[in-house]
Chain A
Amino acid sequence: MTKRVDRRKFLAGGASIATAGLAGCALMGGGSSDTIKLGILEDQSGNFALVGSPKHKASLLAIEEINNDGGINGQQIEYYDPDPQSSNDRYLELTRRMVQQRDVDALWAGYSSATRETIRPYIDQQDQLYFYTTQYEGGVCDKNVFAVGPTARQQLGSVLPYLVEEYGPRIYTIAADYNFGQLSADWVKVLADENDAEVIGEEFIPLSNSQFSSTINRIQDADPDFVMSMLVGQNHTSFYEQKASAGLDIPIGTSTAMAQGYEHLRLDPPAMANIYAGVNYMQEIPTNRNTRDGGFVDRYYDMWPDAPYLNEEAENNYFSIYMYKRAVEQAGTTDQEEVKAALESGITYPAPEAPDGEEIKLVPETHHVNHHMWVMRADENHNVEAVDDRVIDETFLKDTVGCDLTSKDEEKQYTPQDYYEEAG
């Protein structure tokens, strides 16, 4: 009896020791100091893998191209790309790891705004240079954050005026029921006001919802001239099929569909017929840099032949890595404060979204980008073509809020409700 008891208790204690040891196994990690270290945290699995995976792939494409071309100032790029699995907890843990263990010179991380907000306090605490590359609701004025994706105002501002002119002023909004959707709906109201249009109805749909009969019903009842859709996520994709099947063929303007999740390739026609996407980039945009032989699309599929699509955010990752390269070359060092100052000197880059001869500009005061926006329309066979395009500046932070990071350090997110009556 004695012996058995001893061993029993010992092993319980021993298991705890082993676990403590396992838990501590976070060792080593620095690369050599003559490489430039970049952290790439993009979802390769989990809920956002569909849209996160192209971001990851395009980042690696940019890095490989730069390395093959001699690197940055003669230094090769070394990158770390663990998989955060679409979990905000993992994002924070891995961000800490990137900063503390790997000591990365710059970090690209996250798809959703929730992820960005989870890690932003830590980023600010560590003054880590951080690029956020997804389209988002806008308003982040933060000295460490370079939000290079298009804002809701830029995206909606490209497609809404076009649709008002084509179809009429009565708008019905459907949006995902969370921050991005609600803020985008606010911007629709602001833009409608600026374009002599009117929002006659709004519906907010929970992210988990995938049955849309009542929504379709309410749209038909309201009889608008066109619909603005800011639906997000896999569940919401079913809306397009269901609406087509119910015979609802009203034109729909969107900032979220097609460019990120390539619904026009995944769904059977004519689900996406008459959908107008206001985006800065989609695989189908007709610029030379994008579609020529050896252009962006070709290079992407050369490196990743099995990839299903080259989406909007992927291009944002791609050009922002090149912008980082230009800033480091200008600053002559990878010291993060100096690179941030260089980024604030008016860096431009010939991104695939812009036609030949044009370069998109990173605005010094706001850390956002004046994008070349496109209105892309899908027809009954899901062929996508450009119907309108122009450069749209980021105006909310720069003009309305007056965010100026070159003269005053800030770390805040602003919303339209504070500045526009119509949005409230």
Chain B
Amino acid sequence: MAPGVDLLVQFFPSFAKIVLAATGLAIIFGIMGVINLAHGEFIMVGAYATTLAYNGALGALPLVPVDPIGVLPGAVQLPAAMLTGVLVTALFGLVVERTVISGAVPNWIAERTIGRPVVKPMYDRLLDSMVATWGISLIMVQLVRNLYGNSLNGIGIPFGQFSYGNGLSISTYKLVLAGVAALVLLLLYVVFVRTDYGMRARATIQNEGMAKSLGVDTERTYMATFALGSGLAGLTGALYAPLQTIVPGMGGGFLVEAFVAVVVGGASVVVGTLLAGGLLGFVYALFANVWGTFAGRIMLLVVAILVIRFVPQGLSSLVERIRDRWAEVS
């Protein structure tokens, strides 16, 4: 075994899994203070929507004359199906946000019937949002199982294999995913720093009251944020659909990585997720390669516990401290 090359190649899928699992959750938690325990199920929705679209379900919808995915040239079909998955999940996220998280729709109905709002918004109600989203997750898993059965026919893994080292090879798609993960982080950075929305979102994180009095429509910002977070979760589901079996409970396989990464990463969405993906991805790749998947998983969780304990504000706070100290020195 050529340990160096081996480890490097194994690092990529590990990094990709953690980063892609975490981004959607990190955004929603970081900006809205809502813990979405249904995050795994959002990923599942993305995977299901992608797989169904790829297998021609769009054509079966009422009012749709022909399957839009089927008429595309072969190579574009999968990306088109993935895009569908992302959009469906973002839309679903929007619905959840309007009904459960902000309570806007039930309150609107209540205003017109009994004359007062019935639901308090979930922002910054950390523990309540956990319970509510857990309820959503239970409903979604069972609903999907009842509607679509225990398993869907899957999508084949695209691209071929990549050979390296001494007779070793890896599915090229897994390496591609690492690149996509990095790209997603880069795009998020651009969104937060360069767009109007990003500026409003950052203002809302820092000081909601002040942002509101300066004219920021925080409600709109939250809605957009939840949709963005859901869309990202849907992207993860779409990307992993070819790699895994499509079953109603598949979200559970991402939940742990996502939570652990968000907590290890800390307050900053982009920097935190990047660092968490790097550290935890490396730990997993190292231990899984030498001692097997069980060791990899346990060590990932142990390292996460240690980081939470000794750097309770997350890795991104370490970066802040270093940056501040540099600023002082220079």
Complex-state Cα separation, A274 to B55, whole angstroms = 26
Query: Is A246's CB under 8 angstroms from B151's CB?
Result: no
Residue B200 at the A interface, CB < 8 A? no
Contacts A45-B142, A214-B10, A234-B247 given; indicate if A242 touches B157 (C-beta within 8 A): yes
Complex-state Cα separation, A146 to B294, whole angstroms = 34
Residue B149 at the A interface, CB < 8 A? yes
Among B38-46, B102-110, B170-178, B309-317, the one that faces the other chain is B170-178
Chain A residues positioned under 8 Å from B167 (CB to CB) = 220-221, 223
User: Which residue on chain B has the smallest CB distance to residue A49?
Assistant: B150
Query: Is B151's CB under 8 angstroms from A50's CB?
Result: yes
Query: Is A266's CB under 8 angstroms from B297's CB?
Result: no
**A-facing residues in B153-196 (Cβ within 8 Å):** 153-157, 159-161, 163, 166-171, 173-174
**Most chain A C-beta atoms within 10 Å of own C-beta, residue among B6, B247, B285, B296:** B247
Query: Is A242's CB under 8 angstroms from B245's CB?
Result: no
Residue A412 at the B interface, CB < 8 A? no
**Most chain A C-beta atoms within 10 Å of own C-beta, residue among B153, B173, B293, B296:** B293
Chain B residues positioned under 8 Å from A212 (CB to CB) = 293
**B-facing residues in A194-223 (Cβ within 8 Å):** 203-206, 208-218, 220-221, 223
Residue B13 at the A interface, CB < 8 A? yes
Partner of B171, one of A208, A246, A308: A246
User: Which residue on chain A has the smallest CB distance to residue B173?
Assistant: A245
Partner of B17, one of A45, A211, A215, A220: A211
Query: Is A245's CB under 8 angstroms from B154's CB?
Result: no
Query: Is B151's CB under 8 angstroms from A266's CB?
Result: yes
Complex-state Cα separation, A45 to B154, whole angstroms = 21
Partner of B245, one of A204, A221, A234, A245: A234
Shortest distance between the CB of A274 and any CB in chain B (Å): 16
Contacts A47-B249, A49-B150, A245-B161 given; indicate if A221 touches B168 (C-beta within 8 A): yes
Query: Is A215's CB under 8 angstroms from B245's CB?
Result: no
Complex-state Cα separation, A98 to B58, whole angstroms = 46
Residue B243 at the A interface, CB < 8 A? yes
Complex-state Cα separation, A53 to B151, whole angstroms = 12
Residue A268 at the B interface, CB < 8 A? yes
Q: How large is the interface on A (under 10, 10 to 19, 20 to 34, 35 or more residues)?
A: 35 or more
User: Which residue on chain A has the smallest CB distance to residue B158?
Assistant: A245
Residue A248 at the B interface, CB < 8 A? yes
Complex-state Cα separation, A203 to B291, whole angstroms = 9
Main secondary structure of the interface of B (DSSP, over half): mixed
Residue A267 at the B interface, CB < 8 A? yes
Residue A247 at the B interface, CB < 8 A? yes
Complex-state Cα separation, A206 to B288, whole angstroms = 12
Query: Is B293's CB under 8 angstroms from A215's CB?
Result: yes
Shortest distance between the CB of B160 and any CB in chain A (Å): 7
Contacts A208-B253, A234-B151, A246-B170 given; indicate if A177 touches B10 (C-beta within 8 A): no
Query: Is B297's CB under 8 angstroms from A206's CB?
Result: yes
Partner of A204, one of B159, B174, B294, B296: B294
Shortest distance between the CB of B16 and any CB in chain A (Å): 10
Complex-state Cα separation, A211 to B296, whole angstroms = 12
Partner of A266, one of B154, B294, B296: B154
Residue A241 at the B interface, CB < 8 A? yes
Residue A238 at the B interface, CB < 8 A? yes
Complex-state Cα separation, A258 to B285, whole angstroms = 30
Contacts A234-B247, A242-B243 given; indicate if A203 touches B293 (C-beta within 8 A): yes
Shortest distance between the CB of A306 and any CB in chain B (Å): 9
Query: Is A177's CB under 8 angstroms from B294's CB?
Result: yes
**Most chain B C-beta atoms within 10 Å of own C-beta, residue among A49, A214, A246:** A214
The 3 A-B pairs of least Cβ separation, nearest first, read: A247-B161, A245-B157, A268-B156
The 17 sampled A-B contact pairs (Cβ below 8 Å) are: A50-B151, A203-B292, A203-B293, A205-B292, A206-B293, A209-B293, A214-B285, A215-B293, A234-B245, A235-B245, A238-B243, A241-B154, A241-B244, A247-B171, A265-B153, A267-B245, A268-B153
- B residues within 8 Å of A by Cβ? 1, 6, 10, 13-14, 17, 142, 145, 149-157, 159-161, 163, 166-171, 173-174, 242-245, 247, 249-250, 252-253, 285, 288-289, 292-294, 296-297
**What 15 additional pairs, Cβ within 8 angstroms, besides A49-B150, A247-B171?**
A50-B150, A203-B292, A208-B252, A211-B14, A213-B10, A213-B170, A214-B296, A215-B292, A217-B6, A218-B289, A234-B247, A235-B245, A241-B157, A246-B171, A266-B245
